[in-house]
Amino acid sequence: MKRYLDSNWKDSMRIRVDVNNMMSDAVGARGLSIEEINSLPISGAVAAMHSKREQMKWRELPHNQEEIVAKIEECAKHIQEDFDSFVVLGIGGSALGPIAVHQALSHPKYNELPSFMRKTPKLYVEDNIDPERMEALLDVIDVERTMFNVVTKSGGTSETMSQLLIVTDLLHRELGDDISTNLIATTDKEKGNLVKIAKIENLTTFIVPDGVGGRFSELCPVGLLAAAVCGIDIRELLFGAAYMDEICSNDDVWENPAYILASMQVASMKKGCNIHVMMPYADSLKYISDWYAQLWAESLGKHYDNNGKEIYAGQTPVKALGVTDQHSQVQLYTEGPFDKVITFIGVDQYRTETTIPDGYLDIKDVSFLCGHTQNELIKAEQSATAYAVMKSGHLSNTITLPKVNAFTIGQLLYMFEVMTAFAGELLGLNTFDQPGVEEGKNATYALLGKPGYDQKRMELESAPKAKDEYII
Ligand code: PA5
């Protein structure tokens, strides 16, 4: 029996959220009070989460993908058998989830492992168009032994399309007319250009379901195929998300981890905390912070609320890593301005234990470490930093994963998604659009001469010219 079907195991893997250090009881005057939380428009937000659930199609991904998961697993098996490398071409929500889940659940040195240990293809997620990076990729892959997966929900993102053009040209030169053996498309079922190209090239195509926006798409084929290719148990990932969905169905904000985290972030924003630091104490969770940064920034960074009123909302996400950034940023977090909330993410049981051996016993300032484990050390440093931040009067909270596995990562991703949607409701804005990104996309189209963007090009040309005296 799969472990995620055992309710005792599931409950032992439930992630925990501790918000003590957000409260004035712990941190003093700058902390939150129960009254401040209760004064938020919580009942309206809870009602909206119910009434809009139908539109939030990403909420059903843990429940409605049986058929697609089987298709993904079959495709992944074929890729594992016949290819050395799997390359994802995509950006933003089409790349950050695959990177985060891979880093969390695969071997930390996955690509460098010898193939007899790795057993599954190397993974590359190409989420930039730096020309040096593309050339470097081509230096390390054997194109014939590489499966490419081009991922774009809109099917029109210039960065991804430029990568696709380079790769299809290369594949046609190496393989001839039929490149469907080495290229997969993941996109909307009918919108955009990728679906047209997929038809021309007869590509295996995975669909990004309607109502699942880029940054909410990790638990659909966008993320699941890459994870499955790397040998990650995608069913367990989805079961973890489903488990969190159940936990997040509680309407009592104090019993619902996603709702309480969202409420406290929104209450803290009202007190000037415009920065949210995400600081996992595990290398495996480092890129969860990148994924979260997009989710939080792009969803809540909005000029207008739902009534068209200017609000300039949002909270700047900052990525940090424990303990590395204790030696870089924590000075600022304890003694700097009261403009941030820090979320520590801890792990009860790391996947390995490393004992610090005896040595230099005469040097007491070194030898006090001997006999302890690095596990003890990293946890002590996490607690000590949380204590120092709390003592300095700054706000923080802690999320703890009993272990890092597909089940807990599924929970974590889903909890952050619900938290973001709930925060959007509390702020009264549209969590799921990104007009600010669209503006930049349109300007790029105009600069590169895309048909239909003449007016935008004229607008850009009439923008104030850079003054020489300010260019030093
Ligand atoms: O969250 C979003 O919708 C965006 O960040 C997109 O993920 C990003 O712009 C890439 O878009 P697409 O997947 O359409 O290429």
Q: How far is the CA of 214 from the centre of ligand 1 (A)?
A: 5
Q: Whose CA is nearest to atom 12 of ligand 1?
A: 152
What average pLDDT does the segment 349-374 reach? 97
Question: Which two three-digit tokens encode residue 469?
Answer: 């005296």
Question: Which atom of ligand 1 has the smallest separation from the CA of 187?
Answer: 13
Distance (Å, whole) CA 207 – CA 378: 41
Which region among 124-128, 279-283, 339-343, 462-466 has the lowest average model confidence (pLDDT)?
Answer: 462-466
Question: Which two three-digit tokens encode residue 470?
Answer: 């300010």
pLDDT at 437 over 90: no
Whether pTM > 0.85 for this model: the answer is: yes
Q: Is 98 in the pocket of ligand 1 (CB under 6 A)?
A: no
Q: How far is the CA of 261 from the centre of ligand 1 (A)?
A: 25
Q: Is 94 in the pocket of ligand 1 (CB under 6 A)?
A: yes
Phi, psi (deg, nearest 5) at residue 439: -60, -45
pLDDT at position 211: 92
Among 157, 159, 195, 217, which residue has the most ligand 1 atoms within 8 Å of its CB, making it the best to mutate?
157
Q: Is 213 in the pocket of ligand 1 (CB under 6 A)?
A: yes
Task: Read off the pLDDT of residues 13-46 as tens digits, 9 standing for 90 and up.
Answer: 999 999 999 999 999 999 999 999 999 999 999 9
Question: Which atom of ligand 1 has the smallest separation from the CA of 154?
Answer: 14
* CATH entry 3.40.50.10490 includes domain 62-232: yes
pLDDT band at 156 (very low <50, low <70, confident <90, very high): confident
- DSSP assignments along 317-360, one per residue: EEE--TTGGGGTTHHHHHHS-S-EEEEEEEESS-S---BPPP--
Q: How far is the CA of 269 from the centre of ligand 1 (A)?
A: 26
What average pLDDT does the segment 66-88 reach? 98
Which residues are tagged catalytic? 298, 327, 441
Q: Do residues 410 and 241 touch, judged by C-beta distance below 8 A?
A: yes
**Hey, how many other C-beta atoms are within 10 angstroms of the C-beta on 328?**
10
Distance (Å, whole) CA 238 – CA 408: 10
Could you state, in order of their start, the residue ranges of all structural domains in the chain? 3-54+237-427, 62-232
Hunting for tokens 């941190």 — which residue is that? 27
Q: Is 153 in the pocket of ligand 1 (CB under 6 A)?
A: yes
Q: Do residues 34 and 40 touch, judged by C-beta distance below 8 A?
A: no
Q: How far is the CA of 54 from the centre of ligand 1 (A)?
A: 21
* Helix, coil or strand: residue 431: coil
* CATH entry 2.40.50.140 includes domain 3-54+237-427: no
Pick the residue with more confidence: 200 or 463?
Answer: 200
What average pLDDT does the segment 68-78 reach? 98
Q: How far is the CA of 450 from the centre of ligand 1 (A)?
A: 19
Q: Do residues 230 and 402 touch, judged by C-beta distance below 8 A?
A: no
Same fold yes or no, 3-54+237-427 and 62-232: yes
Q: Is 187 in the pocket of ligand 1 (CB under 6 A)?
A: no
Residues near 80 by beta carbon (within 8 Å), at least 6 away in sequence: 119, 120, 121, 229, 231
Q: Which amino acid type is present at position 277?
A: V
SS3 per residue for 211-268 = CCCHHHCCCCHHHHHHHHHCCCCHHHHHHHHHHHHHHCCCCCHHHCHHHHHHHHHHHH
pLDDT at position 49: 98
Q: Do residues 207 and 221 touch, judged by C-beta distance below 8 A?
A: yes
Residues near 276 by beta carbon (within 8 Å), at least 6 away in sequence: 265, 296, 315, 316, 317, 318, 340, 341, 343
Among 154, 195, 197, 294, which residue has the most ligand 1 atoms within 8 Å of its CB, making it the best to mutate?
154
pLDDT at position 371: 97
